[in-house]
A and B are shown apart, each in its own frame.
Chain A
Amino acid sequence: MNETIYALATARGRAGVAVVRVSGPQTFSAVSQLTGELPAHGRSLRSIRSLIGETIDQALVLTFQSPDSFTGEDVVELHLHGSIAIVDRVLRELGALPGLRFAEAGEFSRRALENGKLDLAQIEGLADLIDAETEAQRLQAMRVFSGELGTLVDSWRARLLRAAALLEAMIDFADEDVPQDVTPEVVELMTAVRTELQVQSDGVAFAERVRAGFEVAIIGPPNAGKSSLLNRMAGRDAAITSQEPGTTRDVIEVYMDLGGFPVTLIDTAGLRDAESEVEKIGIERGGARAQQADLRLYLAEEEPTIDRKSVDFVVQTKIDQNPAWGDLVISSKTGAGIDALRDTIVQKLTSQVNKGSVALRARHRDAMGRAMVYLQSACELLECGGDSELAAQDIRSAIQDLGQIIGYIGVEDLLGEIFSSFCIGK
C-alpha cells in the first residue's frame, strides 16, 4: 500500500502563510500526534506541538477524507505562519513519525493520477496552471485542467469505438443477425472525428505560443524609431537610441505581459546595405529572427514601398514631426498612438485565441496527427470497398494513439460496445 508523504506546498521563504500537505493512509493518525484529535472532514485551529510537547505554531488545519481530496487519499493541510523556522521544524517533526516520508517531486499529482482524480492531460494542465504568468496562459491552462481535453478525447474515442465495433461486429458475427452495410455510418463517424482532430491539431501551434510566449518583431529602415518604440512599450531604456542610423546592431529582446499575453518584443537592426561587417551580421540575424516571429511590425517614417503582405502591420513613426499617411501612427516621443498599437496587437492575438486548441503540447499534436493518418487510410479503404479488417486495424491504431493522450483502451471496451448495441447470438 502507499506510504504517507508530506511536503511544503507553498514556495519556500518568508510569507504570511505556508502550507504543509500530508497525504496517505496514515495521515490522520500521524498529524494528530502534533495537533491532537482531528475531525475527519473540515477545519480547525490547532496548536502544533512537537512530540515532546513544546508549541511550534498556531495553525489552521484542514482535513480531507479519502476519496474527497486532491490526491484521493486522506489529506491534511497545515496552514502555518510562513516562517522558514516554523516550516523546517514542522517538516522535521513529520519526518520523525514512523511511516512518513518526504514527497518526491510531483508525487501528490502522481497520486491524484493513480487514484483517477485527474487524467494525464489534466496533470499537464495543472503544471501549466502553476506556471501561468499571464491571463491568457491562465485561461488556457484552466481549460485543460478542468478536463476539456479529456472530454474531447473521450468523445473521439467513444465515436471511434462505435465505428470499430460496427466493423468488428460485421467481422466476428458475420453469421449472425447483424446489420450488413455499416460503411456509411462508420465513414460518417470517422469523418466527423477527423474534422475535429484537424481543428485541434491546427490550434496546437497557437496554444504552444500561449504557453511559451509570442514573439513580435520590430523591423524597418534604420532610424525609423524601432528601438524607441521598444523602450516605450517596455517602459524602460532597454535599447540604446540615437539619431545616428544603425545604432542597433544586435537583436534586443524584452519580455512583457501584453494584455494578458506573454510577449517577447524583438528589436532588430535597421534594414539597409550596411558597410560595417558587424552591422551586416546584425541585419542578417535580425532578419532571421523576424522571419520566425509570430507578428512583424514594420516601422517607417515615410510611406514604404514594401509588399504589405510580408508584414502584419505597417506603423508610421514620429507622427509628432510628420503628417499622417498610415492607419497606425505613433510617436514614441509623445506617446501618441502607443496604446492604440498595443490594442491592435492584442486584438490580433485575441482573434486567434478562439482558434486555439485545448491540446497544448507537441505530444498531443503528434498523437492526433498519427490518428488522422490512420483514419484517412481507414476511410479510403472503406470507400473503395477494401478490406474491413484493415480499416478496423487502422481505427484501432487511431484509438490507441488518441488514448495515449489520457489513458489506455483495451479490447474489452470494444466488445462492450458491440454487445450493448447488437443482439448477438443465434
Chain B
Amino acid sequence: MKHVDFDVIVIGGGHAGCEAAHVAARVGAKTALITMKAGTIGEMSCNPAIGGLGKGHLVREIDALGGIMARVADYAGIQFRLLNRSKGPAVQGPRAQSDRERYRTKMQEEMAAQERLSVIEQEIVDIAVDAGAVSGVTLADGTTVSAKKVVLTTGTFLRGKIFIGKSQQAGGRMGERPSTPLAERLELLGLAFGRLKTGTPPRLKSSTIDWSVLELQAGDVDPTFFSFESARAQCPQVSCGITHTNERTHEIIRDNLEQSAMYGGMIDGVGPRYCPSIEDKVVRFQDKTSHQVFLEPEGLNSDLVYPNGVSTSLPLDVQESYIHSMAGLEKTEIAQPGYAIEYDYVDPRNLTHALELKELNGLFLAGQINGTTGYEEAAAQGLVAGLNAALSAENHEQVRFSRATSYIGVMVDDLVTRGVSEPYRMFTSRAEFRLHLRADNADQRLTQWGYDLGCVSEARYALFLAKMDALNALRERLDARKFTASELNAVDVRIGSGNSSRIGTVALELADCTVDKLAQIEPKLASADASIATQVQNDCRYVTYIKRQEREVKALQEAEGVLIPSDLDYAFIPGLSNELSQKMMAARPSTLKDAATVDGVTPAALLLISGAVRRHGYDLKHDRKNAV
C-alpha cells in the first residue's frame, strides 16, 4: 500500500474546519488541520454569539453527534437566552453571547487534545491531483503533503475583497490575506462560482459607551445550554445594551449613501436579505424611523462591543457620525471600522450529499465556500464533510443526513439540490418536519446513529443511554395510570367532561397538560426529574401533528423501493412544478429512491410522484383523452 502522510487534510481553521478535522480524527482518521495562522483557529470573525432559531438546532445536532461547537460555546458563554421561550418547544432555539477569547482558546485546546489530529501552520497554494482524484496539497514552500481526502473550508478567503467606503483591499478577514491561488485552482476544475457579500459593523470601545442611559437585556435566569453535557455556566454572565437608530441616524446615512461601497456600485455580490446593512435598512424600509441596535460585549476582559444591527460599508468618518447620533453612543470611539466583504463561493450544486465535489473525487467543501453564512451552518457542514471524508478514506460507505431527521440534513439537501442565491442561513421554517426536529430531542434523533458511526464517545453514549432509560421509565409510569376527565379538570386541564379516561402520555397531548399537573393527581409521578419530564411533555405535545408527518415520511420510505413505470406521465401529476416534471422526464428514474436523487426534488414532490405511480395502474385501464 502506498504511503500517505494523512488520511484527511482539512484546509482552514474556522468553524467548518475545526468541526471537520475533529470529527475525522474522532472516527479514526489520521488528520491534519492546515491553516495560514494557527492563532486564529476558532476565531469568531463576525458577531460574538452562537445559536439562535434554526442555528441553535444545528449546534444541538452537532453536539448529539459528539461535535465540539456546543461544548466550546457553553464554555465561552457570557449570556444565555432561549429564544421563543413563550412558543412551543419545536421553535425554541438556544442562543448565547460568547467571550471571543475564551471561545478561541477553548477551541484551540480541543483541537490540541484530540488524538490523531495535527495542526500545521502553512499556506496551501494548490490541491494535488493524481489520476482524477485528490492526492494531497501543495504548500507555499513547494512541498507536497499527501492525503487520501481533502476538506476545503476557506470561508470568505476565496478572492476575498474588503470594502470601507471607496477604499478596497484584498483580504479574507480584516488584516488577513485572501487565498487567491486556491480559487484559481478550483476554477481549473470548471466549477460554477458565484459572488456573495456580507458586512460587519464597526467595533466600539466599551469604556466610551454611556451604559447608564441604556436599556439592558440580561440572560435567562435558568440558562439553556448547547451541549447535552453542560450543567452550568462556566464564567460570569453579562447583560447586553439596547439602543436605537433615529431620524438623525437615518439622515446621516441617506446623505452619504453614494459613499457606501454597497450603494456606490463597487460590489456586485448578493447580500443576505435577513442581515441587511444599515444602508439597506434605511433605503428599503423608509417608513421605519428607528431600528433596534444590540450592544453585545465581545468578552469579559475585552473593551470591545459589537453593535449588532448596523453593519456597513460607509467610510469611517460617516460611521463615526451615525454611531454618535444614537443614545448612549454620543462619545463612543470606534476601535475597528465596519466593512463589507465580497468573496467567491462555489455553487454547492457541484457537490454530493456528502459535500464531496462531483468533479473531483476526494475533495470536500464545507462552510461559507458553499454559499452559506453563519458559524453554525459552517460547523454543521464541517461535520458532514469531515465525517464523510474520514469514512471514505477508510473505504467505508459515506452517510447521508436525512431531511426527516435533522436540520443538518435539511441544509445539505437544500444546498446541493437547490443551490443558493443569497448567503444561506438556517431558519426553522426551512424544515418541513420542524415539529419533530426539535433542539431538545437532537440526541434522541442522532446520538445512536453517531455512536454506530464512531463519532460519539463512550462517555457521551453512556450519558445518552441513561437519559433514554429515564425517559422510558417515566413514560411507563405515565402509561400505567389512567386519568379521568374530571381528575384532569380538577388540575386545570381543559377537557370535555364527556371524554373517556386516558393514559398519561395521551393526556399529555392536551395543550395545557403537564407532568406536574398529572403528579398532583398521581403522587408516584412527583419524583420525575424536571428535564426528563419536560422532554416527555415535548414528545407528547406534537404527537398528532407528528403522526401526520410520519405518515408522509413512511409513505415516502415505503415508496422508495417502488418501481416507476417507464411511461409515467410526469406532466400530468397534479401539483408537480413544470421544472421538476421536465427534470424527471429527462432523468426517467426507475425507482422512487432514484427519483429522490434527481436535482431539486423535494419530499413534497416525491409524495406527488408516488401518488401518481399508484394511480398509474388505474389510468391504464381507462381510455385516455385523444390528442387535443
Task: Name A's B-contacting residues (CB within 8 A).
Answer: 7, 9, 103-111, 113-116, 120, 126-127, 130, 168, 171-177, 363, 384, 386-390, 392-393, 397, 400, 403-405, 407-408, 410-412, 414-415, 419, 423-426
Q: Is the CB of B626 within 8 A of A105?
A: yes
B225 within 8 A of A: no
Cβ-defined contact, B435 with A425, below 8 A: no
B618 CB-CB contact with A under 8 Å: no
- Contact (A106, B575) CB under 8 Å given A171-B428, A389-B90: no
Smallest Cβ distance from B525 to chain A, in angstroms? Answer: 24
**Residues 582-622 of chain B, each 1 if its beta carbon lies under 8 Å from chain A, else 0:** 10000000000000000000101100100000000000000
Docked Cα-Cα span, A392 to B292, in Å, equals 27
Stretch of B162-170, B258-266, B280-288 contacting A (4+ beta carbons < 8 Å): B280-288
Contact A113 B292 (CB under 8 A): no
What residues of A have a CB within 8 angstroms of the CB of B542 in the complex?
390
Q: Which residues of chain B have a CB within 8 Å of any CB of chain A?
A: 52-54, 81, 83-84, 87-88, 90-91, 95, 272-276, 281, 284-285, 288, 291-294, 308-309, 418, 427-430, 432, 434-435, 511, 541-542, 545, 548, 569, 571-572, 574-578, 580-582, 602, 604-605, 608, 624-628
Q: Are A414 and B429 in contact (CB under 8 A)?
A: yes
Contact A425 B626 (CB under 8 A): no
* B545 lies within 8 A of A110 (CB): no
**Nearest chain-A residue to B572 (Cβ)?**
A110
Q: Are B571 and A387 in contact (CB under 8 A)?
A: no
Give chain A nearest CB distance to B539 CB in angstroms.
15
Chain A residue numbers with a CB within 8 Å of B624 are 105-106
> Could you say which residues of chain A place their CB within 8 Å of the CB of B81?
175
Contact B429 A411 (CB under 8 A): yes
Q: How many CB-defined contacts (below 8 Å) exist between A and B?
A: 142
| Other A-B pairs, 20, CB within 8 Å; known A110-B571, A177-B292, A419-B273 | A106-B626, A114-B578, A127-B628, A172-B428, A173-B274, A175-B52, A175-B53, A384-B511, A386-B511, A389-B88, A389-B91, A389-B428, A390-B88, A400-B604, A408-B576, A408-B580, A423-B284, A424-B276, A425-B275, A426-B294
Give the complex CA separation of A412 and B52 in angstroms.
20
Chain B residue nearest in CB terms to A385? B511
A175 touches B582 (CB 8 A): no
Contact A424 B87 (CB under 8 A): no
| Other-chain residue from A104, A113, A407, A424 in contact with B627 (beta carbon distance below 8 A) | A104
Q: What chain B residues lie within 8 Å of A405 (beta carbons)? A: 574
Distance (whole angstroms) from the CB of B415 to the closest CB of chain A: 13
Chain A residue, CB-CB nearest to B95: A175
B435 and A393 contacting across the interface, CB-CB below 8 Å: yes
Q: Could you list 27 A-B pairs, sorted by A, with CB under 8 Å?
A: A106-B625, A109-B628, A127-B625, A171-B428, A172-B54, A173-B53, A173-B274, A174-B87, A175-B52, A176-B292, A177-B292, A384-B511, A387-B87, A388-B87, A389-B91, A390-B545, A393-B435, A393-B545, A407-B577, A408-B575, A408-B604, A408-B605, A411-B430, A415-B429, A423-B291, A424-B275, A426-B292
Q: Write the chain A residue with the least CB distance to B311.
A: A425
Question: Chain B contacts of A393 at CB under 8 A?
Answer: 434-435, 545
Q: Contact check, B291 vs A126: say whether CB atoms are below 8 A apart.
A: no
A425 to B294, alpha carbons, bound, how many Å? 11
Whole-angstrom distance between the Cβ of B582 and the nearest chain A Cβ:
6
- B88 near A426 with CB under 8 A, answer no
Nearest-neighbour CB distance to chain A for B436, whole angstroms, equals 11
Q: B253: shortest Cβ distance to chain A, in Å?
A: 14
Complex Cα–Cα for A130 and B626 (A): 11
Task: Give the residues in chain B near A389, CB-CB below 8 Å.
Answer: 87-88, 90-91, 428, 434-435
Interchain CA distance A312-B437 in the complex, whole Å: 57
Q: Which of A177, A388, A389, A390 has the most CB of B within 10 A?
A: A389
Partner of A172, one of B429, B511, B548: B429
Give the distance in Å from the alpha carbon of A363 to the alpha carbon of B95 in the complex: 45
Tell me the minimal C-beta distance from A108 to chain B in angstroms. Answer: 6
Complex CA distance for A393 and B545, rounded to whole angstroms: 8
> Closest CB of chain A to B610's CB: distance in Å?
14
CA distance A127 to B627 in the complex (A): 10
B578 touches A115 (CB 8 A): yes
Contact check, B87 vs A113: say whether CB atoms are below 8 A apart.
no
Q: Is the CB of A114 within 8 A of B627?
A: no
Contact of A171 among B87, B275, B284 (CB under 8 A): B87
Instruction: Compute how far the CA of A217 lies from the CA of B545 in the bound complex, rounded to whole angstroms.
Output: 47
Given contacts A175-B52, A408-B604, A423-B285, contact A105 B292 (CB under 8 A): no
Chain B residues near A7 (CB-CB < 8 A): 627
A426 and B628 within 8 A (CB): no
- Whole-angstrom distance between the Cβ of B562 and the nearest chain A Cβ: 20
